Amino acid sequence: MIVAEQKEISEIINMVGDHNNILVVGCDTCVTVCLAGGAKEAAILSSALRLAYRVKGKEITVEATTIERQCEIEFVDALEPILKRKDLVISMGCGIGVQTIAERFPQLLVVPALNTKFLGLPEKQGVWVERCQACGQCVLDKTGGICPISRCSKSLLNGPCGGSQNGKCEISKDTDCGWHLIYERLKTLGRLESLEEIMPVKNWSTSRDGGPRKVIREDMCL
Amino acid sequence: MMDFTPHIVAFCCENSAYRAVDIAGAKQEGYPSNIQLCRLPCSGKLEINHILRAFEEGADGVFVFACHPDSCKFLKGNVRASKRIEHTASLLEKIGLEKERLRFFHLSELEWAAFLEAVRQGNESIKSLGPSPIKVR
């Protein structure tokens, strides 16, 4: 899922500025699971904004709503009747959600309440970790299901660097060496010989180096 | 010190503080009438939004009464409440409300006298802060 975290409230207050009829939009999908932008967080943010402005002696209208998915036009359409009276939308979706609302309602100012962090999973309650960088060319079949692009700090493809010490990465003693994990996993699977296959230089044009990406399924296009 | 009667909302776990209030009542030991009790099945049920809502509705102070550490009927409700209170206090400060308006207490059901003392002291500390800058009516 997409993992995000809420911006500092002071930054959000700056974005609100002089607007006074605001809609906070939560998203029921990834950001609900990572406790950053679901219905509960949308209610808290809207309440906090009303309080912050009242402390300054100003009344603003802040309503909160949540939609199933902010990253699909069909779901974003549901906002139309509520948005007519608003002068600012604060999206609590990921960066995709913010842009989907902005594209669907180009006459409205849409601002983000979250910083979108990475693609990952909840490791335990309150802790999320990165697992994928969406590089566009998956090599998990060669590495025992552990991603060298996201788990190795240098995204190396053919084994660890000299900074790997006792299974930890040189960037922090709390960070596992991705290639140590891969070695241990392949050893468990009895597939260490797959490490002898040299992975060629990666074509990063399928990742961010190739510019904005697009997937087209001709058979699905109408 | 400003002379005013603060409006205080006290969220009480029904397994400790709320029973303590009952005992105080049975002993005919009253508590200040400006304290509005709100019964919770466990302090862990308390959400950040409940606290913010209380301030929005005009509370000058919010008190939360949880069971003692390691005494929660639901094991970790009081720990979770404690973390949420810490987070909410930090949020209040960032939006311009004194974090001292939010207070957290541990209590057992038999500590009715401690409840009365906490309420009395808390009442005084909110009085010294003055009225909340947020008053809806």
Structure tokens at A195: 């490490």
Q: Is residue B1 predicted with pLDDT exceeding 70?
A: no
> Model confidence at B137, in pLDDT bands (50, 70, 90)?
very low
From A8, which residue of chain B is nearest by alpha-carbon distance? Answer: B94
Q: Kindly list the structural domains of chain B, giving each domain's residue range(s) and its CATH number in brackets, ordered by start.
A: 8-129 (3.40.50)
Q: Tens digits of per-residue pLDDT, A49-69?
A: 999 999 999 999 999 999 999
Q: Tens digits of per-residue pLDDT, A63-114?
A: 999 999 999 999 999 999 999 889 999 999 999 999 999 999 999 999 999 9
Q: Is residue B110 predicted with pLDDT exceeding 80?
A: yes
Mean pLDDT computed over every residue of chain B: 92
Per-residue pLDDT, B4: 86
From A125, which residue of chain B is nearest by alpha-carbon distance? Answer: B80
Mean pLDDT computed over every residue of chain A: 96
Smallest CA–CA distance, residue A203 to chain B, in Å, is 45
Choose from A25-29, B107-111, B112-116 the range with maximum mean pLDDT. Answer: A25-29
Q: Are B122 and B8 in contact (CB under 8 A)?
A: yes
Please give the average per-residue pLDDT across A11-39, as a whole number. Answer: 97
Please give the average per-residue pLDDT across A145-161, as a whole number. Answer: 97
Q: Are strands A172-176 and A168-169 parallel, antiparallel or unpaired?
A: antiparallel
> Model confidence at B2, in pLDDT bands (50, 70, 90)?
low
Burial class of B112 by CB neighbour count within 10 A (0 to 12, 13 to 18, 19+): buried
Q: Are A12 and A54 in contact (CB under 8 A)?
A: no
Question: Is the model more confident about B3 or about A220?
Answer: A220
Please give the average per-residue pLDDT across A189-204, as a whole number. Answer: 94
Residue B3 one-letter amino acid: D
Distance CA B57, CA B59 (A): 6
Structure tokens at B131: 């009225």
Between the alpha carbon of residue A199 and those of residues A26, A105, A141, A158, A202, the distances in Å are 42, 45, 12, 6, 8
Please give the average per-residue pLDDT across B37-58, as a whole number. Answer: 96
| Helix, strand, coil percent values for chain B (each to nearest 5) | 45, 15, 40
Q: Tens digits of per-residue pLDDT, B3-34?
A: 789 999 999 999 999 999 999 989 988 888 89
Please give the average per-residue pLDDT across B109-130, as a whole number. Answer: 93
Q: Are strands B8-13 and A172-176 parallel, antiparallel or unpaired?
A: unpaired
**Best residue in A47, A62, A66, A92 for a mutation probing chain B (most B CBs within 10 Å):** A47
Each domain of chain A, given as residue ranges in start order, spans 2-118, 136-207
Q: Which residues of B touch A11 (CB under 8 A)?
A: none
**Looking at the domain covering A2-118, what would its CATH class be?**
alpha beta
Interface check for A47 against chain B (CB to CB < 8 A): the answer is yes
Per-residue pLDDT, A2: 97
Q: Is residue A22 predicted with pLDDT exceeding 50?
A: yes
Q: Which residues pair with A89 in a beta bridge?
A: A23, A110
Please give the average per-residue pLDDT across A12-26, as a whole number. Answer: 97
Q: Is residue A181 predicted with pLDDT exceeding 90?
A: yes
Distance CA A32, CA A196 (A): 42
Distance CA A109, CA A18 (A): 13
**Best residue in B45, B47, B51, B52 for a mutation probing chain A (most A CBs within 10 Å):** B52
Which of A34-43, A113-122, A203-212, B83-92 shows the lowest per-residue confidence on average (mean pLDDT)? A203-212
Give Cβ neighbours of residue B43 (< 8 Å, ≥ 6 apart).
Answer: B11, B13, B64, B65, B66, B67, B72, B77, B78, B80, B81
Between the alpha carbon of residue A112 and those of residues A11, A100, A118, the distances in Å are 10, 12, 16
